[in-house]
Amino acid sequence: MKIVIANETHFKYAQIICDTIAESAKVRGTGIAKRTPEYIQKRLQNGNAIIALDGDTFAGFCYIEVWGHEKFVANSGLIVHPDYRNQGLAKRIKKRVFELSREKFPNAKIFGITTGLAVMKMNYELGYKPVTFSELTDDPEFWKGCQTCKNFDILTRTERKMCLCTGMLYDPNAKSKIEERKKPNSKSFERLKSIKESLFLKKKSK
């Protein structure tokens, strides 16, 4: 398995990346912003993506988005093909795209929004912490990307203050002790997700 920085030679995988992201959202029943092959190819072209390949077979992907004049960086679109799941590949891809973000944008705050418990745990282990949306980028182009998510109405009626997604942020300038981070309490993330679903989905059904 090769996990490498993507480039133009990987354009042929753009469609399967988009299809895998879309199919994953359907299976999980979660909201996700749709991406086009053209959008993915731009990330491949500028070296802001990580791709996992088993020989010539697509296995996984994640890309970097830059916001607020490089003050913020988002790691987005983390996906593993169904044939390669439950092998720890997502964690390896997530770690590599995080490292790439730190290499290319050492002073940027790295953030992400997700409904996935597994992604929350991976983020936590890398040093992210849950934050309010007000601590993330205020770049309207980032939030415009949420328009294709089925939960966009929640984001709109809360005036972009919260949604079913949880915002998580890594601040390279935050003071912290140099020590191994403890594994996150899975129940805490599950409870947070449950509270949000109960709060927003009940309101939506009324």
pLDDT of residue 185: 60
Q: Band the pLDDT of 180: cuts 50, 70, 90.
A: very low
Domains of the chain, earliest start first? 2-205 (3.40.630.30)
Mean pLDDT calculated for residue range 159-170: 88
What is the tens place of the pLDDT at every residue in 37-63? 999 999 999 999 999 999 999 999 999
Helix/strand/coil (H/E/C) assignment for every residue in the chain:
CEEEECCHHHHHHHHHHHHHHHHHHHHHCCCCCCCCHHHHHHHHHCCCEEEEEECCEEEEEEEEEEECCCCEEEEEEEEECHHHCCCCHHHHHHHHHHHHHHHHCCCCEEEEEECCHHHHHHHHHHCCEEECHHHCCCCHHHHHHHHHCCCHHHHHHCCCCCCCCEEEEECCCCCCCCCCCCCCCHHHHHHHHHHHHHHHHHHHHC
Mean pLDDT calculated for residue range 108-121: 89
What is the pTM assigned to this prediction?
A: 0.78
pLDDT of residue 204: 55
What is the tens place of the pLDDT at every residue in 67-111? 988 999 999 889 999 999 999 999 999 999 999 999 999 999 999
What is the tens place of the pLDDT at every residue in 192-201? 666 656 656 6
